[in-house]
Amino acid sequence: MQQYNFPTTIYFGDDALESLARAIKGKGHQKMLLVTDRTLTSLGLAKQVADVLLTSGAEIVLFDHVHPNPLEEDVEKGSDAFTSTGCDSIVALGGGSPMDVAKVINVATTHAAPLSRYDDAIGGGDRIVNPMAPLYAIPTTSGTGSEVGRAGVIILRETKRKTIIFAPALMPRIAVLVPRLTAGLPPHITAATGIDAFTHSLEAYLAPGFHPLADGVALAGMRICIRHLETCCKDGQNLDARGRMQLASSMGATAFQKGLGMIHSLAHPLSAHHDTHHGLANALLLPDSIEFIENSDLDQDQKERIADVLDLFEKSGLARQTLAETCRHWFAQLGITFGLSHHGIPEDNLVFLSAEAFEDPCHRSNIIPVTEPDLLSVYQKAYP
Ligand SMILES: [Fe+2]
């Protein structure tokens, strides 16, 4: 028996926020914790969104203490704010970080400490059993797809590792995609987050396992990224392209319930130890990871899957000889500067990072099994 889930309600369009306010009114929430970050409060976006949500009649408590790579401390402060003000529901506004923090706040306010008990790597999801507050998610970037995901990623104080807290109950009740909320993202963040969305669909499509539904979503998600990400980078105000990338982002995260792969395992330690932007980390490591895969012994189905992705690029006139070269060329066009050496990663740290990458669970669903030396070899190739 297989179980397939595509259960998130998605409101998509210019007036989706107003629809959320009506839904909140219908549910009778009294006080909502609005989890966001300082950039969004300073840009005035948090206030814009809060003003619409206030029409529901619910009070809003603003919480914006969220780091770009979220820390356990952010969750603790958010839980205190939720409990001390008597909130009954949560709205997450922002990129992956506020959404992840909001999800884990929901765990922290309803489950006994410490958070490390709920680490997915030790089967902690089974301990997440208590009822939690309704959570609504409004993404302002198009990449993580956390608005449709069941996981929150937090760096724990004890281990300094990005730790995945995963349980179906963490999933937002409604994801609200409003294209204009992503229009102000600068080109380099647009590129990095969009490449994250692409990487989710790519790794999901290549992951072993029988999941034709996720495969279909992943292919359609990659197609949107290939066709529309460059437009978003060059013309941020193009709301048609922005809207499509929002959907591609939700699609990537919907598809990766099938699994991710080595690219994410390699990317996670860079963010945990060197604060590298998650999407950028994927961008820096994807071409050499795919080259490693393309040079490995692949069976017919695996070769066809690589060819299917290359075919999507072919139709947009972007294909090169190999998928690795194609992606390298495309990312360069999107403004990515390759080389871990140019992004503050010390070369003598690569051995340590590859040990951490091997500990990361994502590569267990890589298209082919990888060893720690394999991961090190990709870091080394991606270094200069
Ligand atoms: Fe990702």
In a domain, 93, yes or no: yes
CATH number reported for the structural domain that contains residue 160 in this entry: 3.40.50.1970
Q: How far is the CA of 365 from the centre of ligand 1 (A)?
A: 14
Distance 207 CA to ligand 1 centre (A): 15
| Within a domain: 81 | yes
User: What is the structure's pLDDT at 59?
Assistant: 98
Q: 86 C-alpha vs ligand 1 centroid, how far in Å?
A: 33
Structural domain boundaries, residue 130:
9-181
User: What pLDDT, on a 0 to 100 scale, did the predictor assign at position 278?
Assistant: 92
Taking a C-beta distance cutoff of 8 angstroms, is the pair 91, 63 a contact? no
Same domain, 175 and 202: no
Residues 47 and 122 placed together within one structural domain of the fold: yes
Q: Tell me: do 264 and 213 sit in the same domain.
A: yes
The CA 339 to ligand 1 mean position distance, Å, reads 19
Contacts of 246 (CB under 8 A, 6+ apart): 12, 139, 142, 177, 179, 182
Compute the distance from residue 13 Cα to the ligand 1 centre, in Å: 24
Q: How far is the CA of 264 from the centre of ligand 1 (A)?
A: 6
Q: How far apart are CA 188 and CA 14, in angstroms?
A: 24
Are 154 and 185 contacting, i.e. CB atoms less than 8 angstroms apart?
no
Give CA 323 to chain center in angstroms. 22
Q: Which two tokens stand for residue 379?
A: 């870091």
- In this structure, which amino acid lies at residue 311? D
Spell out a b/e string for 30-49, using b for 16 or more CB atoms within 10 Å of the CB, else e: eebbbbbbeebbeeebbeeb
Same domain assignment for residues 169 and 208: no
Task: With respect to residue 4, please indicate whether it lies within any of the assigned structural domains.
Answer: no
83 CA distance to ligand 1 centroid (A)?
Answer: 30
CA angle 224, 228, 230 (to 5 degrees): 135
| In a shared domain, residues 113 and 217 | no
Q: Residue 131 in contact with residue 137, Cβ under 8 Å?
A: no
Q: Where a domain ends, among 133, 153, 181?
A: 181
pLDDT tens-digit readout, 187-217: 999 999 999 999 999 999 999 999 999 999 9
Enter the tokens of residue 307: 């060819």
Q: What separation in Å is there between the alpha carbon of 55 and the centre of ligand 1?
A: 34
Q: Retrieve residue 282's tokens.
A: 């994927």
Work out how many domains the chain is built from and give that number: 2
User: What is the Å distance from ligand 1's center to 110 Cα?
Assistant: 27
Distance from the CA of 280 to the center of ligand 1, in angstroms? 10
The residue among 151, 181, 211 that closes a domain is 181
Cβ atoms of 176 and 21 within 8 Å: the answer is no
State pLDDT tens for residues 28-68. 999 999 999 999 999 999 999 999 999 999 999 999 999 98
Note the pLDDT of residue 1: 84
Q: Is 14 exposed, middle or buried (0-12, 13-18, 19+ CB in 10 A)?
A: exposed
Sign of the C-alpha dihedral computed for residues 348, 352, 358 and 362 taken in this order = negative
Report d(CA 197, CA 139) in Å as an integer.
13
Residues of the chain with pLDDT under 50: none
User: Which among 155, 181, 207 is the end of a domain?
Assistant: 181
Regarding whether 242 and 343 lie in a shared domain, the answer is yes
**Signed CA dihedral, 232, 214, 36, 15: sign only:** positive
Distance 269 CA to ligand 1 centre (A): 12
Same domain, 172 and 201: no
- Do 202 and 216 reside in the same domain of the chain? yes
My answer on whether omega of the bond before 287 falls inside 30° of 0, hence cis, is no
What's 290's domain CATH number?
Answer: 1.20.1090.10
CA dihedral 257, 260, 264, 269 (to 10 degrees): 70
φ/ψ of 71, rounded to 5, equals -110, 160
Distance 262 CA to ligand 1 centre (A): 11
Q: Are 111 and 41 members of one domain?
A: yes
Indicate whether 165 and 243 sit together in one domain.
Answer: no
The three state secondary structure string of the chain is CCCCCCCCEEEECCCHHHHHHHHHHHHCCCEEEEECCHHHHHCCHHHHHHHHHHCCCCEEEEECCCCCCCEHHHHHHHHHHHHHCCCCEEEEEECHHHHHHHHHHHHHCCCCCCHHHHEHHHCHHHHCCCCCCCEEEEECCCCCCHHHCCEEEEECCCCCCEEEEECHHHCCCEEEECHHHHCCCCHHHHHHHHHHHHHHHHHHHHCCCCCHHHHHHHHHHHHHHHHHHHHHHHCCCCHHHHHHHHHHHHHHHHHHHHCCCHHHHHHHHHHHHHCCCHHHHHHHHHHHHHHHHHCCCCCHHHHHHHHHHHHHHHHCCCCCCCHHHHHHHHHHHCCCCCCHHHHCCCHHHHHHHHHHHHHCHHHHHCCCCCCHHHHHHHHHHCCC
- β-partners of residue 175 are 10, 137
Does 1 fall in a domain? no
Q: Assess if residue 2 is contained within a domain.
A: no
Q: Does residue 335 share a domain with residue 363?
A: yes
3 inside domain: no
Query: Domain for residue 283, yes or no?
Result: yes
| Separation between Cα atoms, residue 273 and residue 155, nearest integer Å | 10
199 & 142 share domain: no
376 within domain boundaries: yes
